Structure 1
Amino acid sequence: MRKVLNSIVLAGVALLSTSCFDKSKPNYQFFPNMYEPVSYETYSEHAIFPGGKEGLIPAEGTIKRGFTPYEIPNTPEGYALAKASLKSPLTAEQKNEEKGKELFNIYCAICHGEAGDGKGNLAKREKFAGVPNYKDREITEGSIFHVVTYGINSMGSHANQLSKEERWQVADYVLKLKAELK
């Protein structure tokens, strides 16, 4: 009888000790942040940010890695300054007509036409009116670079799509197209 009683008590203790066990979650959490992290909703306001804003802006005067600032302002005076004084920093070995043509066809030909005559697909379909023909324009490599960097009128900036060197490649190719249109 005593053996039966001991077996029942042992089974009861085993049942009690394992009844609170949960395999999906540990019983004791020594470092709870490792198991239950504090997360923030994307683009949400939170008390951790100053003023409850949704994030922090970069420190004043910082620039993103790999970016070279363009010092000439986006004003009519800046355009005139770029037109008069800005020269391509590319050496003869760095100038690549094929690369310039490829970039021009990707970003510019849709409006300006592959020949630079202002008759790209969007101009033909009258989506944009007044796309200039390079033959009729007084342009320099500096003015082309400035316009590709900042955009002008209906044309937007291409500074995010093209690196500084690629914008100079496009400017070089546009001058080649202008020479062929005469």
Structure 2
Amino acid sequence: MKSLFKIALLFGLAVSVTSCFNSKSPNYQFFPNMYESVGYETYAESEAFNGENQLKGQTAQEPPVGSVKRGFEIYDYENSTAGYELAKANLVSPLDSISDKEAAKGKELYGIYCAICHGDSGNGKGKLVEREKFLGVPSYADRPVTQGSVFHVITYGLNSMGSHANQLSQHERWLVTDYVLQLKSKL
């Protein structure tokens, strides 16, 4: 009798557990927001911009103070004449040796970003200078440049030359610096 009761209890439990199962819709959702997400309109009002941000007229949230974007490498010299002189005197390339492939990459980057003004040989006679769009582009032979000064000028720009820090990574700027110094030695 006890075994018949156990069998009936087990059968009743199995029926009650499987009777609520529906394969077309799950019974319980652990994270309902993942299954049924809220669709936001692109330019709709948002609760994220209430308070101080809305009073300032901001349309997006700002990153936290002190945050640094991924892959960014800190450059310790300031954008001033004193920073330029300090970089010129103290800054040296962290690249121990440059392979032929990296040297070719430096030459390619120089051709893309620098040769249009400074010329293919670094003599200051690029296409824009020949067409008198920019005047006074220096030749590398006329200036006492060092690794640090070239890198600093590529990073921050100088006079009418703009910064190339957004277009070139720090490693690429060092490759261009190495190529500029090769051109200077040939002039």
Same-fold status (TM-score > 0.5): yes
* Aligned mates of 1:91, 1:55 — CA distance in 2: 43
Alignment of 1:151-166 (within 5 A): 151-166=157-172
Query: In the alignment, which residue of structure 2 is the partner of 1:128?
Result: 134
RMSD over aligned CA atoms reads 2.2
Alignment of 1:78-157 (within 5 A): 78-93=83-98, 96-157=102-163
- 2:64 corresponds to 1:62: no
Query: In the alignment, which residue of structure 2 is the partner of 1:174?
Result: 180
Query: In the alignment, which residue of structure 1 is the partner of 2:15?
Result: none
- TM-score normalised over the length of structure 2: 0.73
Unaligned stretches of 5+ in structure 2?
1-32
Query: In the alignment, which residue of structure 1 is the partner of 2:48?
Result: 48
- TM-score normalised over the length of structure 1: 0.75
Unaligned stretches of 5+ in structure 1?
1-30
Aligned residues: 149
Q: Classify the secondary structure of the residue corresponding to 2:184.
A: helix
* Aligned mates of 1:129, 1:178 — CA distance in 2: 20
Q: Classify the secondary structure of the residue corresponding to 1:48.
A: helix
* Aligned mates of 1:101, 1:93 — CA distance in 2: 12
Deviations 1:93-122 (A, max 9, x none): 457321111110010000000000000000
Paired-residue identity, %: 54
* Aligned mates of 1:123, 1:47 — CA distance in 2: 53
